[in-house]
Homo-oligomer: A and B are copies of this chain.
Amino acid sequence: MKSDMLIVSSEKLADLCGVNPAQVRKDLAYFGEFGVRGVGYEAQELLREIKRILGTDRKWALCIVGMGNLGMSLIENDNFRKRGYQFAAAFDLDPKKAGTKLPCGLTIQAASNIPEQVQALGVDLGIITTPAREAQRAAELLFKANIKGILNFSATQVRTPECCIIDNVDLSVKLENLVYHLETIYKGTSMK
């Protein structure tokens, strides 16, 4: 390592992430040989490698189906843009919403445009934020567009063909995790 490089220790990384240093070392070692034992990691190199591993060293074009409150909030999410995920198109299954201009500059399109627009814009990933009853229909349109990955935020599971990876994101599971940890900590005692 050159002397002018910024070195970061697994202890420092662990503190920033809220985990323990051994976990940081173990997780990184899973992907290859990073850092020097007893010294630490060269920060720029580590950052570059992590981005490569996570696929965030390139831009990913997203489309979103379902422009209710959740859709509106995700399309404005700063962390998505910062990490290279850019919304290329927004759709809604309600044709009456088509034509509405969004603050981000996109215009809501009818869902019937999905197969053609997704291909034309080179969209990589789809996000479903429709009501539960419309999620499967939204997904079918994305499959037709040959989308390879979908994040489904609707309150139902969507079944996909093998050629597509879908992650059904149920936000209430986050509450279950939290409650489980609270109960483990406060078991047998009053919570307040």
Contacts and interface: CB of A to CB of B under 8 A. Distances in A.
Interface of A: 53-56, 60, 62, 68-70, 72-74, 76-80, 82-83, 85, 124-125, 132, 146, 148-151, 155, 165, 167, 169-172, 174-183, 185-186, 191-192
Given A74-B171, A165-B185, A167-B174, A60 B179 contact: yes
28 contacts: A53-B180, A54-B179, A56-B179, A60-B175, A68-B73, A69-B69, A69-B73, A69-B76, A74-B171, A77-B155, A77-B171, A77-B172, A78-B155, A79-B170, A79-B172, A80-B171, A80-B172, A80-B175, A83-B175, A85-B175, A125-B178, A125-B179, A148-B192, A149-B179, A149-B181, A151-B174, A151-B178, A165-B178
Given A68-B73, A192-B146, A55 B183 contact: yes
8 nearest interchain CB pairs? A69-B73, A70-B73, A55-B179, A79-B172, A69-B72, A69-B69, A79-B155, A55-B183
